[in-house]
Amino acid sequence: MEPTPGLSMSFPGGAEINLSQTPLSGVDQVITGKISTVRVNDGREHPGNWNLTGQVSDLRSANGVILADNLGWVPSVDAVGTNPADAVKAGPAVKPGKDNGLGTFRVLCSSDQDVVSVVDCGGSLELGVPSSSRIGDYTATLTLTLI
């Protein structure tokens, strides 16, 4: 796949993320999900380094809040149109509830080489649901920044 001019990101499968549902049982639980594919296109005339980072807001419902720190991820990369394929790296795994989780900006994927590329970044999500969580439909915003 040939990149288009410029540095950009898109969501070929849509931008919504859904986590698995679980009945609350009064004990700590972990639920999982998948990050929608984020396609990074670097077709700059003089490509350079870039980072795709993400941070999530607290998850809120009408009945409660689950802190963003309880969300973690395991990033993955598919170098669709990158040569060499190892020019792009997945960011480090972030454990839910550890070191602020995704409550602070974390690297999803990055390139430190001057390579024209098209890359699909994604991964899995884990949300630590505290035993004190209340029943409800929780929503949050995942902010992605490409620089």
Sign of the alpha-carbon dihedral angle for 127, 90, 55, 117 = negative
112-143 per-position pLDDT tens digit? 888 878 899 999 999 999 999 999 999 999 99
Q: What is the mean pLDDT of the chain?
A: 92
Rounded to whole angstroms, how far apart are CA atoms 6 and 13? 21
Rounded to whole angstroms, how far apart are CA atoms 56 and 67? 9
pLDDT at position 96: 96
